[in-house]
Structure 1
Amino acid sequence: MELSRTDGSVFTADQAQPILQALHMGFSFALGRWVAPMLPVGLGTQDHILWEEWAARLCDPAKAIFSGWWTHWDSEALRTLVTRLVSACSDPAYAARVNRQLTYAVSVTRDEGFVEQRIMVGAAGLEHTLWQRFVLSGDMTPAQYNSLPAHKLLRRALQSASIPLTIDPEHLPALAELAAARKRDHGATMDGADLVTWVRNKLVHPTGAEDDVYRFKGAVTETWLLTRHYLTLLILESLGYQGAYTSLAAGHRYVGESAKVPWATSNATDAS
């Protein structure tokens, strides 16, 4: 690809770095693995090479099947995402925050490492996005934020983005079974925000009852799926993305299966 200004004016290699970083993070976020611009060069007015980057940016081996939310033949969705990221990266402070969130999202989406490890990374990513959404935006003071339990903060964020909290028993059968058992045995009604934070707390703060999690075969894996689903959607919503999305909460899905992000559908319904 070629990088140029819309008015055709020149720019320096340093000025191009935020764009290259946005491409690196955007492609990686979309594919669910690390993908980087390779061997960029800077050309002068006479097409002479004035700058080259031979350093290796973080990049995974190529593979035909990937774990990301992007459908690879939907070029419009990728264009929209990258456009949003390039715009966001014009503010260095915001760029640093969104790059951190994207790093968490890529790390939790990749199918590598222990599932418990991915849940921890995803929880850290959710914490980062929630802090930005509520505290850095001025919606809450740090004291107000810290006074609320994690499941209430997550639920508030998901509801504000019109992201469903219900557990689909077809795609997440183990979590649906766990929620039913908790309701039957303890009278607790648990939605997605409850389950994601409850399982994470059981893994991090064992009290002897952590076997409750492993008693339901597949519940830990499904918690990972739901965690990466929530984190990815909250990042996309914060960027103002309105395109198609392949659900990361489903362990098994058809290739190319996608739908509009939930807030886009909600806005369309409100407008009508």
Structure 2
Amino acid sequence: MAYWQPKPKIIKQKFPNQHISLYRGFAELINGEQIIEGKVFINISWYPSPNINFKFIYLCGDMFDMDNQDELELKLTELVPQYRLKIHISNSTQWGNNKNKLLGHLREPCIQGRTDNLASVVFHVPNFWWFNICNIFNHEDEEDEFVAREGWLDFDGQFIFDYGNWHIVLASLDNCFDIEELLKSEGGYGITHICKIEHIDNTPFTLDEAYNIIQAFIYYLSFARGIWITPLLVSGFDSEGNQVLEEWRNPIIEANSWQDGCSWANNDSTEIVAAFAGFMEKWEDPVWRNVIQNAIQWYIESLKHFNGYNTSIILMQSALEKIAWTFLKINEYVNSDAFNGLKAYGQIKLLLKILAIPLEPIEEYPEINKKAKEFNWKDTVAAITEARNGIIHPPIKPSKSQIASEALMQEVFQISNAYLLNSLLKLFDFPYI
């Protein structure tokens, strides 16, 4: 495995939300037999979320029928070979100097090059956090000589994830720290990392096979980061490090704008790597994949409690119940009838007990502690399930004491978040809890 390969184009932004130019040049707008010549600008833009869009400019004297867009294409005449893109026009305006401007987006990926017999693929990642450490360890080869495990392009920060025959390197770009500082103050999107994926035994693979592992890895990174991130600009390389593929695709996951403080992993340690193999084992299990996808979706969305905690609490406890249902039945701790006989309190508490997750002490949460004494809540599991019940099944004429304060709901959120996060990490065999 040639660790210095490949040497891809590296995208660096000077500031957040700076668009990334993919093509600017002459093009033909084609709708059936009608063709108009003009100039097109194709960019990665960021709002409302990362996407590939275009701006096509042509002379006003050229009339163009846009009522039927089913056959609408852009032909990029300056590429070799020339490529046709299926597009959708969302806006048309008259521009200065007797010109028209059409705005729109791609309807399908633009794949330039081959999609099979790939030795590695590379893509960029926005809005992940900066790190300058590595888990690059030496190992002995068959002749008992120490050889470097990695060291791709001398990036200072590299996390290496291996699973099965897949070898994944996530690296901080040189300007990642500066972009992150700007993102913290301005928000939005910034390219922060680059990722390489290849086979450990150097065997080739297809783009479809690459996307199977990319989707799993992006779900894992989003879980670790606490917001949705997405792969951008996948490129493919042969065994000699030559680029043989470039793909322009609208993101497979709708990414989130920058947020602080959402990650369970520490950016000055390599502990993020420790849960990846366990995550992949669950991901590849046909029973568990849907559960893991839903649980991560609900976990990430629950962190966006901008307008109160009610939705977040419902999402987290739904995730806990779905995990409990699957885990307890697969491992035959209970049968369906026994599980159905348990209320949410019993389901979650049994799950936490078997996973050896200690209960949060009720006395450390003053608002919950007061309510627990009033309503005889046994522990913090009872507190969060009763609070959730109060959201979904509120009393018709609540007394003053039954109205949950924002401070109480914040404590319920904190406990629910801790139980869901620790349950997921335990399922992924994370050793540090």
State if a TM-score over 0.5 links the two structures: yes
Alpha-carbon distance in 2 for matches of 1:105, 1:36: 17
Please state if 1:67 is matched with 2:262. Answer: yes
Alpha-carbon distance in 2 for matches of 1:212, 1:36: 45
The two structures, once aligned, show a CA RMSD in angstroms of 2.1
Tell me the equivalent position of 1:206.
394
Residue 255 of structure 2 aligns to a residue whose secondary structure is coil
Alignment map for 1:11-160 (pairs within 5 Å): 11-46=205-240, 47-50=242-245, 52-56=247-251, 57-63=253-259, 65-74=260-269, 76-160=270-354
Alpha-carbon distance in 2 for matches of 1:48, 1:189: 62
**In 2 relative to 1, CA 217–107 (structure 1 residues): closer, same or farther, beyond 3 Å?**
closer
**In 2 relative to 1, CA 85–210 (structure 1 residues): closer, same or farther, beyond 3 Å?**
farther
Whether contact under 8 Å (1:167, 1:176) holds in the other structure is no
- What does the per-residue CA deviation read over 1:143-189, in whole Å, with 9 as the maximum and x for residues that have no partner? 2111111111111111122222243544x22112221333xxxxx24
Whether contact under 8 Å (1:18, 1:89) holds in the other structure is no
**In 2 relative to 1, CA 49–111 (structure 1 residues): closer, same or farther, beyond 3 Å?**
farther
**Unaligned stretches of 5+ residues in structure 2:** 1-194
Question: Which has a greater percent of helix?
Answer: 1
Residue 49 of structure 1 aligns to a residue whose secondary structure is strand
Query: 33-42 or 141-150, which moves further after superposition?
Result: 33-42
Counterpart of 1:68 in structure 2: which amino acid?
A: S
**In 2 relative to 1, CA 215–106 (structure 1 residues): closer, same or farther, beyond 3 Å?**
closer
Please state if 1:234 is matched with 2:423. Answer: yes
**In 2 relative to 1, CA 217–119 (structure 1 residues): closer, same or farther, beyond 3 Å?**
closer
Tell me the equivalent position of 1:193.
381
Tell me the equivalent position of 1:178.
371
Structure showing greater Rg: 2
Counterpart of 1:52 in structure 2: which amino acid?
A: E
**In 2 relative to 1, CA 142–210 (structure 1 residues): closer, same or farther, beyond 3 Å?**
farther
**In 2 relative to 1, CA 60–154 (structure 1 residues): closer, same or farther, beyond 3 Å?**
same
Alpha-carbon distance in 2 for matches of 1:213, 1:42: 59
Query: 48-57 or 232-241, which moves further after superposition?
Result: 48-57
Question: Which has a greater percent of strand?
Answer: 2
Residue 284 of structure 2 aligns to a residue whose secondary structure is coil
Whether contact under 8 Å (2:216, 2:283) holds in the other structure is yes
**In 2 relative to 1, CA 224–14 (structure 1 residues): closer, same or farther, beyond 3 Å?**
same
Residue 165 of structure 1 aligns to a residue whose secondary structure is coil
Identity %: 19
**In 2 relative to 1, CA 38–86 (structure 1 residues): closer, same or farther, beyond 3 Å?**
farther
**In 2 relative to 1, CA 143–210 (structure 1 residues): closer, same or farther, beyond 3 Å?**
farther
Tell me the equivalent position of 1:225.
414
Alpha-carbon distance in 2 for matches of 1:91, 1:118: 27
Counterpart of 1:97 in structure 2: which amino acid?
A: V
User: How big is the shift at 1:118?
Assistant: 0.9
Alpha-carbon distance in 1 for matches of 2:327, 2:281: 18
Whether contact under 8 Å (2:361, 2:380) holds in the other structure is yes
User: How big is the shift at 1:229?
Assistant: 1.3
**Unaligned stretches of 5+ residues in structure 1:** 183-187, 244-260, 262-272
Alpha-carbon distance in 2 for matches of 1:146, 1:93: 19
User: How big is the shift at 1:128?
Assistant: 1.0
